[in-house]
Amino acid sequence: MSPAPTRRGGARPGRRPGPGAPARLAGLRAAVARTTTALAQWLRRPLTSLHLVLAVFGLLTSFGLVMVLSASAVEAFAAGGSSYSVFTRQVMFCAVGLVVFWIGLRIPPRTLRTLAPAFLVLCTVLLALVLIPGIGTVRGGSRAWFTLGSFAFQPGEPAKVALALWGAHVLAARRAVMHRWKHALSPVVPVALVMATLLVLQPDLGMTISLGIVLIALLFFAGAPVKLLVALTVGAMAGALILGLTAGYRQSRITAFLSPSTADPLGPAYQATQALYSLADGGLLGVGLGQGRAKWSYLPNAHNDFIFAIIGEELGFVGAFAVLALFATLAYTGLRIATRNTDPWLRIACATLTVWLVAQAAINIGYVVGLLPVTGLQLPLISSGGTSLVVTMFAFGILANAARHEPEAIAALRSHGQGKLARLLRLPPPEPYRAPVARPPAQRGAVRR
C-alpha cells in the first residue's frame, strides 16, 4: 500500500475544520454578545456606581487585612512575642475607619461642604503644632506624628482630604472665571503651598508629593488653563527633585534608582532589590499565602510600604494583577460618579479624591517594581497604617455618598425605597442638588441710601 500523499517538503496536509466548528464559533460569539449586552445594561442601572464603590471598598479592605496579617506575623512575633499584634492594631483602626466611612456616607453633601473650611483650618493648625518639640513625635526621621500611648496620629493624611474638599468648595464657585490665572491661583495655591511647606519642614517628601497631586487634580477638574497646570507640574517636579537631593538619605535613594548597577545592594538599594527578588520568586501563582520568605527579616517594612512585594511573592502575578484591577475599577468608578453628578462641588471633589487614591497606589506599586524611586507612600487600604486607613475609608465614604446623590440614583431610591441596609445604617434619603439662586444685577438709576 502506498503512503499517504504529502505536501512538498514532507509535511502532511493540515486537518480541515469539522462540520461543527462554525456552529461552535457562532455560539461563542453569541455568548460574548450576550455578556457584553448584560454588562452594558448593568452599567446603565441607577445604583451601579454605588454598588461598584462599595464592592471595591469591601474587597480592598478585606484583602488588606489578610495581607497585613501575613506580612507582619514574623516581625510582630520577633518584636513582641505575638504574631497578631500588628494585625490586631490594624483591625482596631479598621473598626474606627468603618465608623468614619459611615459618617462620610451619611453626612449631607451641603453640610460637608459647609464644614470644609473649618476642617482645612484644623488640619493646618495640626500640621504646625506637630513641628513643635514635645508635642510632635519623631518617627522614621520625620516629626510628623502625635503620639498617645501606643497609638499615633499623622495630621498630614487628613490634610489631603481637607484640601480636596475645601479647594473644590472654592473652585466650584469660580468655574466661570477659571480661565483667568488670578482667580485660578488664589487662594487655593497659596494655601496649598503653606501646607506643603509645613510638610517639608517635618520632613515628609512622600506626603508633600501626595498633596501636590491633590492640588493639580483640583485645578485640572475645575478647568484651570493648561499652561498654568503645566507650569505648576514642572515647578512641583523641580521642587521635589531639589528636596530629594538636599537630604542625604533621599539623595542616596535617587542615586540608587538612577544607577542600580553601581548601587550598594546592602545600602540604599537594599529594599528595592529585595522587593524585586520577592516579585521574581512569586512567578505566576505565587508561593502560597503566608509562605513568603521576604518577610523573614529580608524585606524591611514588608507590611507597610512594600506590602505589594509580599502580594507578588505569595499570590504571584494573579494576586498582583487583582490589586491593579481593583484600583483600575476605582479609577473608573470615581470618575463615573464625578461625571454623573450635577453638583459642581461633588464633581470636583470626587474626581480629585479618586485621582489622589489611584495616583498614590500607582506611586507605591511603581517604586516596588522598580519604576520609581522609593518615596514611602502607602498602598491605600492595603498597607499597614492606622491614620492612612481611617482617612482613606473616609474618602471612600464621600465617594459612596456622592454615588447616592447621582440624579438617577436619587430618583430610584425615592421611588423604590432605600432598602434594609440603608435603613439599618440610618441613611437619610438623598436630596437633589439645587443650584444657588443668582442675585439680580442692581438696577440702573437706583437711588443709593
Mean pLDDT within 294-313: 89
- Considering the entire predicted model, what is its pTM? 0.89
**Bridge partner list, 148:** 151
CA nearest to 94, candidates 322, 304, 388: 388
Burial class (CB in 10 A: 0-12, 13-18, 19+), 109: buried
DSSP string, 64-104: HHHHHHHHHHHHHHHHHS-TTHHHHHHHHHHHHHHHHHHHH
Residue 82 to residue 104: CA distance in whole angstroms: 34
Question: With 50 as the cut, is the pLDDT of residue 445 above it?
Answer: no
CA 327/CA 350 separation, integer angstroms: 15
| 39-56 exposure pattern, b = at least 16 Cβ within 10 A, e = fewer | eeeeeeebbbbbebbbeb
pLDDT in tens, 186-235: 789 999 999 999 998 888 888 899 999 999 999 999 888 888 888 888 88
Three-state SS for 138?
Answer: strand
* Confidence category of residue 447, pLDDT binned at 50, 70, 90: very low
Q: Using CA atoms, how far apart are residues 153 and 203, in angstroms rounded to an integer?
A: 16
pLDDT for the residue numbered 8? 45
